[in-house]
Homo-oligomer: A and B are copies of this chain.
């Protein structure tokens, strides 16, 4: 019999058919109950483990892991730190593929005891070939299978699409805050967090996602990993597999790095040239977490579209001021505005209102809000020009033009990125959800974030 590799174990663990919940509970607010509730729509089998309960949520409970009729793919330890070591040993004995440790109080507290306790967990798991997520983690979610293997709310889902953004975050709370983008319509395939990364780290998670059909792009944020080159290789592999990857590294400053050590016992490897290495692998680097998801979503929505071709960008807007700002942003990152052919220009003149500007930026004036087809028509004229390689649509007031689907179709038809820049400070106002729902229309809340992403893809 072939001995399963660590990678095989990881795949079985992260895409489980069977999940055991140790510490399953009916006590309101308990991690055990929250975890069980998260698994209500899991397509596989759930095995609650409880000494006290006979059944929970209609499922038979087992007194101990040893009593389970199967070797579980994923064991969730919703138990206090004092009980963790024993349960890890029990999971290993049951030949589980991997287990999740929520409990904190390990290496991140900075004491010798904490460090030693974490080492013992890892040794017990590794001796049995079992993978371990955590400790000090919120777990992971695969929205396709409904495996919300954690105690936190895991907002997400593919919103009717075949694929979406996979969020990978070392920090649990930050990952969940970012994943809440799904609550205004961003399609997510996975949310994966790894806390102290005693065994599984963000590199493992990215490597795993590289072969996931549902992950069209990966949004990665992390503080550090034990092996920087392994992470760069994982990012490289994901990009080779056709997944766009956006990365926001935190803990870059000395004070931030110190805080990372207390947070997840992470060494940020400040000496490693993260930016250069990740950029060379083809990742899109993002300075601020608030731009991470929109950038990954842009990569997901333009998967299969030529994003890296050199050449000009066209700006089309009903807000002249927003268009000027977009031109400033493109200039700041070294991207050129497209020059139009004579034919494009004359078609534009015919489509524009009296005082619109058939230049680049192309200003439709406020007339476009009384005639929503004007935007679609002008976008079509611009996208057919070979010198236009991408189209930016700085969007003024929050407004559902009813034409987002058409703009998305144009992006697909011309195989060029079309990015709507949501300038309104009514952040989820009318039209925001509708624009997000258009499969090939990319929505950014920052023109500079959009320009930065476009520029990096042309390296």
Identify the A interface with B (CB < 8 A).
29, 104-105, 108-109, 136, 138, 152-153, 155, 169-181, 183-184, 186, 221, 223, 250-256, 259-260, 262-264, 287-290, 293, 318-325, 327-328, 330-332, 337, 354-355, 357, 359, 361, 363, 365-366, 370, 395-398, 423-429, 445-448
Contact = CB atoms under 8 A, between A and B. Distances in A.
A396 B264 CA distance: 17
B105 A355 contact: yes
Contact of A321 (B171, B287, B448): B171
A428 B427 contact: yes
11 contacts: A104-B354, A155-B426, A174-B319, A184-B426, A184-B427, A184-B428, A250-B321, A253-B328, A253-B331, A259-B324, A290-B445
10 pairs of A and B residues whose beta carbons are closest in the complex: A171-B321, A174-B321, A253-B331, A173-B319, A181-B425, A180-B426, A263-B320, A427-B427, A256-B328, A173-B396
Given A174-B319, A262-B320, 16 more contacts: A136-B355, A171-B324, A172-B366, A173-B319, A173-B322, A173-B366, A174-B325, A177-B424, A179-B425, A183-B398, A184-B425, A223-B321, A253-B328, A253-B331, A254-B331, A288-B325
Contacts of A324: 171, 223, 250-251, 256, 259-260, 263
Given A171-B319, A288-B448, A366-B172, A181 B359 contact: no
A252 B424 CA distance: 21
A326 B263 CA distance: 14
A102 B153 CA distance: 50
A103 B181 CA distance: 40
A357 B136 CA distance: 14
